[in-house]
Structure 1
Amino acid sequence: MFRIDLVSGKTRGASLIQNGNNNRGRERDQFMTMPGILQTRLGSLTLPNPFILASGPPSASGEMIRRAFQTGWGGAVIKTIHPDGMEIRDLSPRFAAWKGPKGDLLGFENVELLSKRTVSYWESEIRSLKQDFPENLLIASIMGDTDPATWQDLAVRVENAGCDAIELNVSCPHGMPEAGVGAAIGQNADMVRNLTRTVSEVVGIPVYVKLTPNITDICTSARAAVEGGADGISAINSVQCILGIDLETLTPVPSINGSSTAGGYSGPAIRPIGLKMVSEIARTVSLPIMGIGGIGRWQDAAEYILLGASAVQVCTAVMWNGYGIIRAMNRGMAEYLTQKGYNSPDDIRGAALSRIEPHQAISRTIRMQPVPPEPGVCSRCGRCVTACRDGGYDALIMKPDGLTVDESRCDGCGLCLLVCSTGTITSRIHST
């Protein structure tokens, strides 16, 4: 596997964790101030916990970031800052959701653009936030236009204002690519490399590159970022999509006066995509990674960290449920680490990577055998029989006394366990 190691020569500031209890009267979750257990290393930086607000609507103003920090978030990435001359006019409405039967979010589309605030506004807010929350990580997401000098100007200004790191938005999937930036840059390795170098040369704080999943091989972009001098990777941005069509009006959603456009897909449905891409990046380059995509619970974050992420970013789950989700995330992560005997999220970083192997390297001698439930336990709904007959190997039979398995037909695919409505079909493993 191609691998790149990078030792940065940039000057780094002191740890973001400050000594003493400088609460300034803020509300704090018990696990946020619990020494050690949630403290997380992100390259040369340290933050109170691994949970960071992603660049987006929840980080659209200094006031919002302030409330997030008060609630317990370890860091925040500012909604993408751009040159004042770049016109940003959002569509209305600009969101669409795919919801489950009980109204729970499955997938989310947005066509929202960048920050509507001026650069000077953000310079002032960065100074204020870092004064009041010195221990929290504050990252400035930036996007210039097609002139690299605009990126350099933004980078220098946010660094001088006091932000801890910079995130290059070269991955926005809608609107901005039409102007030659966003994913239009992120899909071109040469442009990623050159832009990263252009910005890294003028600042002394860490530079992260936010990569697009809308590409054949995300590792090509990751390598280019390393070659350009990046200090870390953020992955992934949202996935290009059309969420659906209104069958009455024949208009894609969200409908804006009878028209629509492709947007960015986020939410729980994209987590498997994010996990796969983060694992590939982690096995390709030796840079800290901020994992992004479908994170709304501490378990989701743990999965990303186990696959190589140092910290995670969250956006859609906050839009759906509010900043308060951080309390359960902090608590759950702390309890999990304690129960497992770990001292920090750093201790589990990449622990699952070695278990991902090429398809042809996985053993074919192991077989799973379904075990029917005890008589009287099965609901006899027949769902497993139908699934096995029409999508498997026709190995299940529903008899008067319960479910049976024709072992001569069963191929061990496991479909029956997944569709069982009561979860009472179990399994055993044997070698062939």
Structure 2
Amino acid sequence: MSRPSCPDGPRLCWDACGMKLHGPLTVASGPLTSKLSLLKKAAEACAGAASLKLTFITPPFHAEMRSFSVHDHVILSPTEKRLALHEGVELCRSAKRETALAIWANFTGAGADEWFRLSEAFIDAGADGLELNFCCPNLDTSSSGPGVRHGAAICTSPELTAKIVRDVRRRFTQIPVMPKIVNNTHLFRDVAAAAADAGAPAVHVVGQPVSGAPPVNPDTLKPLLPFAEGVSFGSTNGSVCLCNTLRSVAEVRSAAPALQVMASGGITRWEDCVSAYAYGADAAAVCSAVMWHGWERLKIISRGLEDYFRRKGMSGPEAVRDTALKLLTPPSELKLNPARARIDENACVGCGKCAKVGHCEAITLVDRKARVDETACISCGVCRSLCPADAILYDDDPRYGSGK
């Protein structure tokens, strides 16, 4: 069967994390990569690669996806479906046969035998890379017995991280091996360095999906988790993760400069990709943004990146990489420049939202126009974020010195 092309997609191509990508974005492992019909949509939306839904030899329990959703972030139940080995392998084989996507096989094991068996099965199915999942929460034990470490539990141990990476790399030298890690421990830098020392050419860094619980309906006093009896903790995913993703990328880049880095968690715009590159990422992966806004979001981000690099005269992420990383400074040594808010009176609609900010005493309404006491402004930026008319300026805005 012929593979679908993406004729209206971006022309950006580059090598990242051991793969040649024919599009700037990877679809991160999750509901979007759990079945062939969705992977075909990823290819049609010009994704360069996809990381398949997490696979086990045998999932530790049967589950279906349930979630409590708030705009742009999702609290996922730990009962989200994972794939058994035969399901993951068949999905990989079908995706390679019927799409042009580069495929990362995403899996976790318990002991060397399981890691080897999973790796060999996915290589035979045509996977382009092995993504060793040291990331997903709620997987510290399994049916294999108490004390067996899966997922995020591995990421708390530099020694275990190094052992698994080294064992898989030595056994399977013909394919890229990329650990997927999460910043869930004070040893995170050590984990990244251990992966590099063990021979990993790249890591997939995920912004910490903070564990949470859904709110409670005050009338029924039951959690707002649809179609479920009882409640479980879940991971908060989406734009809320972005700042942690950027920090995690910077920490990995600082601890192991030779590692290539794929970043995911909260990336919803092309500007988020540029931010990730600036802190040290080589590639970016997207999931929640597509779940909320549809597959067209991949094209929007990709075209935005293409336009940005063209406008800047840059060939790709390597021209941006580490520019923000080089500016990292301890808080005690930050030099703070004055940056006071001003009002574009022609744009101000007098709604008063800026004057209601709880901690701010710098803004008042005079004749239905906002006024700023610059001596009281602390440059927090909350007013600018709230303004529906884009009427609040800082000195990074070209209108700032226009006399308005």
Instruction: Using structure 1 for the length normalisation, give the TM-score.
Output: 0.80
2:121 aligned partner, one-letter code:
R
1:142 aligned partner, one-letter code:
F
Deviations 1:264-288 (A, max 9, x none): 1111121122122112212221211
1:355 aligned partner, one-letter code:
L
The residue number in structure 1 matching 2:146 is none
Which among 103, 117, 130 is matched to residue 138 of structure 1? 103
Cα distance in 2 for partners of 1:293, 1:408 equals: 38
Unpaired segments ≥5 residues, structure 1? 1-22, 100-104
Between 1 and 2, higher relative CO (CA 8 Å, sep ≥ 6) is seen in 1
Residue 182 and residue 234 in structure 1: after superposition, are their counterparts in 2 closer, same or farther (change >3 A)? same
The residue number in structure 2 matching 1:164 is 128
The residue number in structure 2 matching 1:19 is none
CA contact (8 A) 2:384 2:392 kept: yes
Deviations 1:7-40 (A, max 9, x none): xxxxxxxxxxxxxxxx9362414334x3xxx112
Residue 64 and residue 384 in structure 1: after superposition, are their counterparts in 2 closer, same or farther (change >3 A)? closer
CA contact (8 A) 2:29 2:50 kept: yes
Deviation at 1:107, TM superposition (A): 3.9
Which among 300, 319, 330 is matched to residue 347 of structure 1? 319
- Does residue 24 (structure 1) correspond to residue 2 (structure 2)? The answer is yes
Cα distance in 2 for partners of 1:157, 1:334 equals: 36
Number of aligned residues: 388
Residue 255 and residue 328 in structure 1: after superposition, are their counterparts in 2 closer, same or farther (change >3 A)? closer
Residue 426 and residue 110 in structure 1: after superposition, are their counterparts in 2 closer, same or farther (change >3 A)? same
- Does residue 290 (structure 1) correspond to residue 262 (structure 2)? The answer is yes
Deviation at 1:87, TM superposition (A): 4.4
Cα distance in 2 for partners of 1:125, 1:400 equals: 64
Which among 200, 207, 214 is matched to residue 243 of structure 1? 214
The residue number in structure 2 matching 1:371 is 342
Deviations 1:90-145 (A, max 9, x none): 14x6111013xxxxx344434344533443x5445534543555x63211011112
1:111 aligned partner, one-letter code:
P
CA contact (8 A) 1:95 1:111 kept: no
Which among 101, 123, 126 is matched to residue 92 of structure 2? 126
The residue number in structure 2 matching 1:199 is 168
The residue number in structure 2 matching 1:78 is 52
Matches within 5 A, 1:225-374: 225-236=195-206, 238-254=209-225, 257-285=228-256, 286-364=258-336, 366-374=337-345
For the residue of structure 1 that corresponds to 2:171, the secondary structure is coil
Deviation at 1:290, TM superposition (A): 0.9
Residue 207 and residue 369 in structure 1: after superposition, are their counterparts in 2 closer, same or farther (change >3 A)? same
Cα distance in 2 for partners of 1:303, 1:265 equals: 21
- Does residue 177 (structure 1) correspond to residue 140 (structure 2)? The answer is yes
Which among 178, 187, 193 is matched to residue 223 of structure 1? 193
For the residue of structure 2 that corresponds to 1:277, the secondary structure is helix
Residue 383 and residue 64 in structure 1: after superposition, are their counterparts in 2 closer, same or farther (change >3 A)? closer
Cα distance in 2 for partners of 1:86, 1:395 equals: 56
Cα distance in 2 for partners of 1:116, 1:256 equals: 22
Cα distance in 2 for partners of 1:318, 1:425 equals: 31
Residue 345 and residue 159 in structure 1: after superposition, are their counterparts in 2 closer, same or farther (change >3 A)? same
CA contact (8 A) 2:9 2:45 kept: no
CA contact (8 A) 1:108 1:316 kept: no
CA contact (8 A) 1:148 1:198 kept: yes
1:182 aligned partner, one-letter code:
G
The residue number in structure 1 matching 2:63 is 90
Cα distance in 1 for partners of 2:370, 2:83 equals: 61
For the residue of structure 1 that corresponds to 2:338, the secondary structure is strand
Cα distance in 1 for partners of 2:381, 2:5 equals: 47
Deviation at 1:45, TM superposition (A): 2.4
Cα distance in 1 for partners of 2:294, 2:366 equals: 50
Deviation at 1:245, TM superposition (A): 2.4
Unpaired segments ≥5 residues, structure 2? 143-148
For the residue of structure 2 that corresponds to 1:258, the secondary structure is coil
Cα distance in 1 for partners of 2:381, 2:38 equals: 46
